[in-house]
């Protein structure tokens, strides 16, 4: 399996209504079963194809190391719905959540491969709402699709 170059955050911003079956399957493969769930993937071609297929229901971009650390500290959960702590990071072989975030950001470990960690982050709706329509692409003034580094601003408002 080939390895990607960048860590990408993916957020589902549209709900269940009127989703085609193949797109629903793609969202399930990305572990995005509900609105305002987020996950982390790398930029290998198979993931990018899945993102393009479901682009009318999600938004994605390259997450910064600081935002990844904040996301793990505030919204990271282990099974049993308990918050991710430094002790949990030590059980994975890392000194702290900061070191774990560095390893995930540099793609040394894949977020979905960590044992006993929930594969999604449950986020709030964004503070002050979305700036555009969730039915239009980001390039045409909406919210869905690829947004690059600006995903960090959206995630910050949703934490």
pLDDT of res. 4: 63
pLDDT-derived band at 5 (thresholds 50, 70, 90) equals confident
7 close to 108: Cβ distance less than 8 angstroms:
no
Dihedral over Cα of 87, 151, 19, 52: its sign: negative
Give the separation between CA 43 and CA 107, rounded to whole angstroms: 10
Q: Which domain holds residue 6?
A: 1-159
Give the separation between CA 25 and CA 88, rounded to whole angstroms: 31
pLDDT of res. 1: 42
Give the separation between CA 17 and CA 150, rounded to whole angstroms: 27
User: For residue 147, what is the domain's CATH number?
Assistant: 3.30.1390.20
In three-state secondary structure terms, 122 is strand
Number of domains composing the chain: 1
pLDDT-derived band at 16 (thresholds 50, 70, 90) equals confident
pLDDT of res. 77: 92
């Amino acid at each position: 399996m080939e390895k990607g170059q960048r860590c990408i955050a993916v957020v589902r911003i549209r709900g269940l209504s009127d989703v085609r079956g193949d797109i629903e399957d793609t969202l399930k493969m990305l572990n995005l079963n509900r609105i305002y769930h987020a996950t982390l993937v790398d930029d290998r071609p198979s993931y990018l194809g899945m993102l393009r297929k479901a682009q009318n229901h999600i938004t994605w971009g390259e997450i910064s190391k600081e935002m990844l650390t904040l996301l793990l500290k505030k919204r990271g959960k282990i099974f049993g719905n308990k918050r991710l702590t430094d002790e949990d990071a030590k059980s994975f072989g890392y000194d702290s959540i900061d070191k774990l975030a560095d390893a995930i950001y540099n793609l040394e470990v894949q977020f979905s491969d960590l044992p006993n960690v929930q594969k999604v982050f449950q986020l709030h709706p964004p503070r002050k709402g979305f700036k555009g329509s969730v039915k239009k692409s980001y390039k045409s003034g909406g919210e869905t699709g690829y947004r690059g580094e600006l995903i960090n601003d959206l995630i910050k408002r949703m934490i």
